[in-house]
Each structure stands twice: as C-alpha cells, then as structure tokens.
Structure 1
C-alpha cells in the first residue's frame, strides 16, 4: 500500500465518520473533499469537478422535476384514493395494495418524494380503517426502497453504478433490466411484511401532519351538515338547464347553497366550484347544502325535473382537491355586522358559500343565510381553495380562523394529471427504445410538463434535491482517486481473497453483504459510488460478465432496511410511525437477508455469469 493510497483512505475514513455524525451536513463534507482531494496530487482539479458536468447528474435532476410533476397533478394522491377504495379496512389487503402502488410510482420518481406524498395518505387510511399508523408506515418505507429496484432511473445508486460500467466500456443497462429482480423482491417483501407487521406494536402517532388542524369530518358533524347534504341531477327537460345560478336565486327562493357542480368531461367528470355566472347544463350533478325540509326538496325536484341521487357520508372529503372549507370569524368593527349573508351577496364577493354559523360555541340550526351577523360569529364557508387562501389577506371584515387538515393533500394542478401521465409515458418510451440518451429523454419530459402547465419554474427548482446531487458529485472524485492509487484493485483482491475459489453466487452474496453493511454508515448513493468500481474490478478478475455483479450491488444499495438512518426514506416514517431504532433492526435485518437470498438466486438467471 503506497503513501498516496493511505492518504486517500484516510480522507475517505474521515468522510465516513463525518457522514455518521452528520457534522457538518453531508453535502458540505462532499464539497470539502472536492476541495481537498486535488491538493493531495492524486487527482487534478478537473477530475474533482468533473462530476458537475456528468450527464447522470443532469439526469437525476431532471427526474426530480418529472416526479414533482406527478406530485403537483395529484397522480399519487389518486392512486392513494384507489388504495382506500380497493382495500377498505382490511390490513391484510391494505399492505399488498399499498406496497404495490408505492413501488409502482417510485419506479419513476424519487423514493423520498413518494414517501413524503404517501405519509398523509397512509395516515388517513389508517385513521379511517381504525389501524395504528405504525402497522402501515414500515411497509410504506420498505416499498419505497424496493421501488429503487424496479427501473434504471428509479434511484440514484442505479444510475451511479450504470455510469461506472459504461465508463469502463460496457453497454448500459436498459430501462427495465432491473424489473425482473424488483418484482420478485417486492413479492417476497410483501409476504414478509404481512408477518412482520405483528412485531410492530400498535402505537399512536404524535407527530403527524396537520394534527393541530380540524378535519372536514369534524366540521360536518359539528355543524350538522350531514342532515342538509343533497345531490341532484338535471334532467334534459329541466328548466334549470341553460340558466346561470344568479338567475335561479336558489339561496333566496329555496334556502339552497350550490356547493359544487359535477360535470361530464370526456370519459370522466370534473368538479366545478360554482359562482353566480356558472351556467348549468343538462346532466350536471349539483351538490347542495339545503336549509329546507326534506319534503320541500323532493317537491322542488318534481317541479323542476331534477333527480335526487344518493350521497356518501364522505362526499366532502372525497372532493377536497376542488372544494375546500374554512372557518372564519366576524371581528369587531366589521362592515358585515348586522347584515345577512344574502344581503351581503357573500358568494359574489368572496366566491365562497356560507354553509354553517356558530354563535359562541354552539352551531345554529335553521336558515343561516338570513341570520343577521354579530361580532364574534364563526362562519363555516366552502368553495375553491384559491378563494379561501385569499381570505388570509382580508383581515378588515373577516378573520381566517381554521383551515382543515385535508389542505395538506390538495395539489395545485389536479386537472393536468392526464398531461403529466402522457409526459411520463413519453419519457419511458424514449428511454426504453433508446431513441435519445436517457438524460435527453428526461429533459424532454421536464419541458413537456412545463409546456402543459403541470409544473412551473419555481416548483421545478424547489423539487431538485440539491443536497443529493452535491453528495454524488463530491463522492465521485474518491472513485477516481482510488482508481489512480490502486485502491480499487486492492479492494477487489481482498474480496477475492475472502471468497477464494468459491462459487460465483458466493461472490454475489459477499458483495451484497459488504454493500449493505457499508450502507449502514453512509448513504446508499455514496455506497454505490465506492462499490461500483470495485464490482467491475471483481468481475474482471474473475473473467466473468460484469452485469450480475453490478446488479447485485445496485439491489444491495437499495436494501437499506436495517436502521432509521440508512436512508432518508426510513427517517421520514420514524415520527409518523412512532418507531424506535430497534423496530428497524427487528424488521430490517431478516428482510435484508431475504432480499439477499432472492437476489443471489435470481440474478444468475437474468444475467448469466
């Protein structure tokens, strides 16, 4: 071992220690090493900075933007709603559905982003099903990690390892080369989690998002809305068809608020937050807040050719992407005092319908639309979220008191979901066919998302996890330094010395274990940067194909199940799941062994030695 290699190993050891203690933060450590390594003379400054121009860095950044487009258009949330509809309250059904959906989405976007999206979804599912969040949060994190095993672009370690084998002169992995490994691992992990969930003690989450906010279901109960909710459909011969809501004067004549309009569009329907100028069409479905009696409503339906439709108890909660609620208070000195909601033309001015009134702590029954407002009255309003947010700047006559916890789930551009899916389809098609390089395909997808309005420039920049990019750039010079000083060959020789003349499958198992153990102390991305050249050297020394060894290391890098600090994915679920360190050890160690066995058995079938 020469002095230059010893110096590089010393700096690498210092880097790993700083990563473990997280002082300073990892991206700062990476920048420090980019600065220090050229001073050793082992690599040049150009070598140290080469990572900033690496196409894979641009590819990862573009994929963050593509993932954000799926977030902003509500694709993930809609799949979460599908989970609720299909799985119901059965924990045995929830876990397979949850893990399949999360792994599927994570195959095309950041696993960390997937978990951030699904935490509130899973909390809502757990609450509705009467299941402790701790029983579902661990399957969520496991599925997100496994999603990195599904496609080439699913996680940064895959791209790092692929870039190394390309740099060494080998052909790139294709987009779906990982899938034959990822699917069996997902199946094994799902079956395992159905058993391991019993080891997770039921706990009550104390750190959930929106815990301090009321929920729509609470307001519906407090204000007695469930007794006043109706859905009606306009028949073709209804005299309401073609009329504007202002012309019908439904609030004044029938004490009716039209909260939402469901309108057919294409093969589906859209939810419209109506205003005075909304013109009704035949077959429109109106969601009503009615202050009249049930017989009056039925007589009105007969008179105006309307069909009374069934309504679910969760209707408000199901429509939160389009329609929101808020509590507002009438302050002292407000110009609204002494006037009724109808007198004020409240909906025309604020684009919000008043659907409840609380005087003191007691909600009022009867027709609140004709009740003169007093100082201190609390109004429950419903309407588009943009109108609710606008109340925050209107403090003279109204004070915004409360917004519901469901606000956390609202996405900015739900109507753009088809365009987001189409853009994603273009990216996948370009990557699978190889018509253009992967980085160009991702950039095309990001531009399409911007063109269709799925994402804007500020949100695109915010979506990029700069810390991860800087970390990769900072670790790449170590791989070059170890190559230049003979460290890669030495590591390969040590590994071969351990396995001796053992069967290649034993070598795969050893590589998996080394990668997984190293991932306990540093990020899986940094692990991939260090292990990729070692893997190529081991395969070359054995005179075998590089692909089974590279694939094994990529799978192992994503198998960060064993501690809460092995991956940001695990860290995110610690608080919502009320987990302890030992929970990850208890569940993660057996799972890692199962994934290793599955990988070692299947890899040689897919990628022969």
Structure 2
C-alpha cells in the first residue's frame, strides 16, 4: 500500500497516525510500547518510513544511552550509594518542612546522576517509614517526592530521556550534541525554584489523606485474620496447604500453621494438616463460610450460640473474634510499578505461590482495600499489595515481578568496595564525555559493561534493569518522529504557530511551544513528547530565523515536567496507590508548580541560550 494509492498527502497520513497514537496513549487500554510499535509499522506500510530503516531506532544513540543509564542506576542501588544517603534521611525528625526539604532535595540530586524513576523508587520506602514513625500522612510527602524526581532529571544529560533525545537531535542537525552539563544552568535553576516552592508553599496544595498506608490502616491485617481449627471430621485433615487451596478453588492465603504451640509461616509449611492444627488465614465472612462448608474448618473463638448452623454462624464468628497477633509472619507491602509483569494479570496467571514463593494477602487501590476475591483481581499500576514470603527471597521475587517494597524493608548499606568501584566507573565515564573522548552512548555503555564485568551488578539484574517498554517506545517513535519531519508535517505545525505569533515577540511563541509540550507530556510518555516536539521546535526556530538551542532546550525542560496527571510520568503513577491520591489531586500542586517552572525556565533559557545564537 502506498501514499499514491490512498490519495492522501504524506503530512496528512502522519497526522492521522499520530492522532490515533495519541488517542491510544490517552485511552491506556494498550501498553504504550505496543501502541508505538503499531504506529511504526503503520508508517512503514504507508510508505512514510522506509522499510529498511524501520528498526534503525533500536541502535540509535539515544536508545543505547537510556539503556546504559538504567543499568548504571541499578548498579548504584546494588552498591549501596543511595542506602547510605537514605540512612541519613531517616534522622531528620518530625518537622514536615524539614522532611520535605531533605527528601525532595535528596531525590533532586540523585535524579541528576541516575534514572529519576529509580531515584524515586529508592526513597519511596524511606518516605513511607518517615510517615509512619512520625504519624504523618504519606500523601503530604509522596507527591512532592515524585515531582522532585522530575525536577532533578532536568539537571544533566542522563537525568531523563528527553534530555538525551534533544541532545542527540541537536547533534543530527548541527553536528554538535549537548554535553553532559549543558542542561545544568537551566535545570539547576528550575530544580531549585521548584524545590523552594514545594517546601515553602506547595505542600499546602497537597491533599491530606487519612487512613492510608503510612499509618498502617490501609492493611489493618490483624482485624482481617482469623484462626480456624482442624477437627477430626474436617476434610482438611490430612491435606497439604496446596491441596487445601485446590479443594477450595480459592486464593485464600494461609499465613501460618500452629501445632503444639509452635507457629510456622504458611510459605514454609510443607507437611499435611493434622487434627488440632490451627490455621491463621486471611478471610472475610464469605470466605469463612466457604471454609466451613467445603472443608469443615471452624473458628477457634466462636460465639456463645455455638449450636447455630448456616451462613450466620461464620459471620458471627468473624464479628466476635479478637485481632490476631501478626508478629513474625514476614508480611511486606509493595507497589506495582508501571513496567511490572503483573499488570492486567491475575494471581493465578502469575503463579505467585509456585513460581515466586509469595502469598497474596490483600490488595489496595486508590487508597482503599479491595473487597473482591483475590483470584478475580487483575493488577493495575499503583496497586499496593500485602504479600507474605521468605525474607531471603522476597526482595528478588519483588524485583522480578516489577514491584517496589514499601514497608518492612530494611536498609542495607551495601559493600564499600563495590560502592567505590561504582562511583569510580561512573566518574570515568563522565570525564570521557566532558573531554570529548567518547560520545555519551559509548561512554555510558562502556561504564555499564565494566560494572557488569567486575560484579558491581549481576548480569541478570543488569537485564532486569533495562526498562523494555521504554526502550521499545523510544526505538519505535524515533522513525515516526523523523517521518513527521520528512513528510512536512512539522513544518505545517510550525507555520501555523508562526502565523499566530507573527505579530508577537519570538519569546511568546517560545512560551507557546513550552506550554504545548508540557501539556502533551501529561498525557503521553515524556520521551514521546520530546520526540514529537523536537522537529516542530527546529522548524519554528528556522522560521523565525533565530538560534535552534533555546527552542530545543524549551522542549527538553517542558517534556519532563508532567505535573498535572498521574499518567504523565512513571514517578507520578508510582505514588498514586501508596499516597491514596485521586486523578484530580495532581493538578492542585502540579498547576502552580508548572507555572513556577515555566516562569523560571524561559528567562534562564534566554540568558544562557540567546535567540541570536
């Protein structure tokens, strides 16, 4: 199929493809990497992208650099560089503004030298612990922390994918890339202004949510647990726990088995149940009735009307029982990341127990505990899970699943030798880039390779660190972004902006570009926003006859400032569940912060990168 056969101009076709792509991104029914790949293949079929160049994006320097930075970021986590900082953060005390200053300031610094989602992931458990220890609502800490990770990414080339994309695009047009610290003057000014606003004023716009994960009420586990006894006549007598689950055809987690006053965690109990055993499990009234009807398990603490049978019996037992001691059960809370393999899958499809050694105890979404049966739940990004598992294996299992532990997570200070090696390798890569000895992609890839070779990071974790959906998104959208330019679509959009801005100073159009890109980044991935807006920025600069750099820098900053919605950036999505936020909460802090960012960025951009070049 060719453009001539369809009878539409190339620019019209690329607008149709991009329009449908944006609709699919906003709809969210399909993952953004699948949407991007569909857009790429459609562009190839329609002749907008040459077939022999369709997958050239997978070898693009920007894609390689992003992948290498993700590996290096995981190496920092593994070596303990951030745990040492986190250990100090926990000492800040109970003053909210001081907590915000230290937490947000730390994530701003870390996001400049590592992936900003990774920096947030490392400090999120610290923020949750601070909230619990000081009886503070985590909603006051988590959204500022997420926004701080976005601000910190502005400060260096490797802080966020839009910076890498814009730097590479400039190199393609002029033969000279932005360097590691070309973004620093503007990025640092914006980050400091944003930090000051959040700490002094902005936190007041953040909703205060009560009874959330931070104070333990989201999973009031003790009040959901019940003790059931195995009688001689019970069908559970002589069954293993797995056989019991198969008999029930339900995902009811048995957290512990008590035998002769010895309590063993459910994940480590592999024998058969005997008369007199007491099962400690998570069950509501309906599950209690099911357990009594199907396998003859009865509550240990029964109401006085013991002779009553039927549905009322189980429900009365549920109401009469005392809260159960949960100490030593190895329970951990975790949040589902945006790149998790769990998304849109059920506990059975994932085989959590068999493959990962984890029992799912409960799920919370939008700040509240889900009441539906565990087997029917399909996980979503931002869900908070209550899980039980072996202490030795739970961190590895959560990493494989794409979950971030929130509670019951001890800080480990890593190994000093690996910490020094990790920092040394990174420093050498930066020096090589600053002295123009190696391009960014080669320097970062070399650093990532050396980290793997000398054992700073195991090879398997290195592969896990590479965010596949983001890599596919970048690789697929790069040729589509080029098609926007080669088809004349970027010129059409730029000419329209030129027409509206003809009677105004150029800076007004620069502000318009900044606003448009910022709005776009709130509904699509920030990398996609940068890929689409960079050609338009170049056409605008050419049309006005001014320097290219201020327009590209405006795209880099605005594409990374998705403060208005939880879907604009993974950092925002990551705190949605733990903070108990609603979709509409983000703009309350995000809108004034966006104004502060733009009011700071535009003057600094024009000062550092004048329109006259």
TM-score normalized with structure 2 length: 0.67
Q: Could you tell me which residue of structure 1 aligns to residue 160 of structure 2? A: 155
Structure 1 residues 192 and 333: alpha-carbon distance in aligned structure 2, compared to 1, 3 A threshold: closer
Of structures 1 and 2, the larger Rg is shown by 1
> Of residues 76, 85, 88 in structure 2, which corresponds to 1:79?
85
Q: Distance in 1 between matches of 2:14 and 2:327?
A: 67
Aligned partners of 1:51 and 1:57 also within 8 Å = yes
Q: Find the residue that maps to 2:474 and give its secondary structure.
A: helix
Q: Distance in 1 between matches of 2:56 and 2:32?
A: 19
**Structure 2 unaligned residues grouped into runs of 5+:** 1-6, 223-254, 265-325, 331-355, 358-387, 395-405
Equivalenced residues, count: 443
Q: Could you tell me which residue of structure 2 aligns to residue 300 of structure 1? A: none
Q: Distance in 2 between matches of 1:407 and 1:454?
A: 25
Q: Distance in 2 between matches of 1:410 and 1:98?
A: 16
1:181-223 CA distance string (max 9 Å, x none): 12221222122212121222322364579986999xxxxxxxx
Query: Mean alpha-carbon deviation: is it higher for 2-11 or for 584-593?
Result: 2-11
TM-score normalized with structure 1 length: 0.67
Structure 1 residues 413 and 381: alpha-carbon distance in aligned structure 2, compared to 1, 3 A threshold: farther
Q: Distance in 2 between matches of 1:490 and 1:407?
A: 55
> Of residues 568, 571, 575 in structure 1, which corresponds to 2:570?
568
Structure 1 residues 127 and 9: alpha-carbon distance in aligned structure 2, compared to 1, 3 A threshold: same
Q: Distance in 1 between matches of 2:517 and 2:13?
A: 23
Q: Find the residue that maps to 2:157 and give its secondary structure.
A: coil
> Of residues 599, 602, 605 in structure 1, which corresponds to 2:604?
602
Q: Find the residue that maps to 1:435 and give its secondary structure.
A: coil
C-alpha deviation, 1:597, in angstroms: 1.0
Q: Distance in 1 between matches of 2:257 and 2:413?
A: 26
Aligned partners of 1:73 and 1:413 also within 8 Å = yes
Q: Find the residue that maps to 2:610 and give its secondary structure.
A: coil
Q: Distance in 2 between matches of 1:465 and 1:199?
A: 32
Q: Could you tell me which residue of structure 2 aligns to residue 196 of structure 1? A: 202
Q: Could you tell me which residue of structure 2 aligns to residue 141 of structure 1? A: 146
Aligned partners of 1:328 and 1:400 also within 8 Å = no
Aligned partners of 2:70 and 2:115 also within 8 Å = yes
C-alpha deviation, 1:59, in angstroms: 1.1
Question: Would you say 1:169 and 2:174 are equivalent positions?
Answer: yes
Question: Would you say 1:512 and 2:514 are equivalent positions?
Answer: yes
1:261-281 CA distance string (max 9 Å, x none): xxxxxxxxxxxxxxxxxxxxx
**Structure 1 unaligned residues grouped into runs of 5+:** 216-326, 337-377, 383-391, 394-398
Aligned partners of 1:329 and 1:379 also within 8 Å = no
Pairwise mapping of residues 391-470 of structure 1 onto structure 2 (< 5 A)? 408-410=409-411, 413-415=414-416, 416-470=418-472
Q: Distance in 2 between matches of 1:27 and 1:422?
A: 34
Pairwise mapping of residues 507-586 of structure 1 onto structure 2 (< 5 A)? 507-586=509-588
Question: Would you say 1:38 and 2:35 are equivalent positions?
Answer: no
Q: Could you tell me which residue of structure 1 aligns to residue 29 of structure 2? A: 23
Query: Mean alpha-carbon deviation: is it higher for 420-429 or for 563-572?
Result: 420-429
> Of residues 106, 115, 118 in structure 1, which corresponds to 2:120?
115
Q: Find the residue that maps to 2:55 and give its secondary structure.
A: helix
Q: Distance in 1 between matches of 2:597 and 2:390?
A: 50
Q: Could you tell me which residue of structure 2 aligns to residue 321 of structure 1? A: none
Structure 1 residues 525 and 401: alpha-carbon distance in aligned structure 2, compared to 1, 3 A threshold: closer
1:11-44 CA distance string (max 9 Å, x none): 1111111111112211111111222211112221
Q: What's the C-alpha RMSD, in Å, of the aligned pairs?
A: 3.2
Q: Could you tell me which residue of structure 2 aligns to residue 66 of structure 1? A: 72
Q: Could you tell me which residue of structure 2 aligns to residue 187 of structure 1? A: 192
Pairwise mapping of residues 22-421 of structure 1 onto structure 2 (< 5 A)? 22-85=28-91, 87-193=92-198, 194-204=200-210, 206-207=212-213, 408-410=409-411, 413-415=414-416, 416-421=418-423
C-alpha deviation, 1:407, in angstroms: 5.3
Q: Distance in 1 between matches of 2:480 and 2:62?
A: 17
Q: Could you tell me which residue of structure 1 aligns to residue 382 of structure 2? A: none
Aligned partners of 2:213 and 2:219 also within 8 Å = no
C-alpha deviation, 1:413, in angstroms: 4.3
Structure 1 residues 174 and 570: alpha-carbon distance in aligned structure 2, compared to 1, 3 A threshold: same
C-alpha deviation, 1:512, in angstroms: 0.4
Q: Distance in 1 between matches of 2:213 and 2:144?
A: 18
Aligned partners of 1:524 and 1:557 also within 8 Å = yes
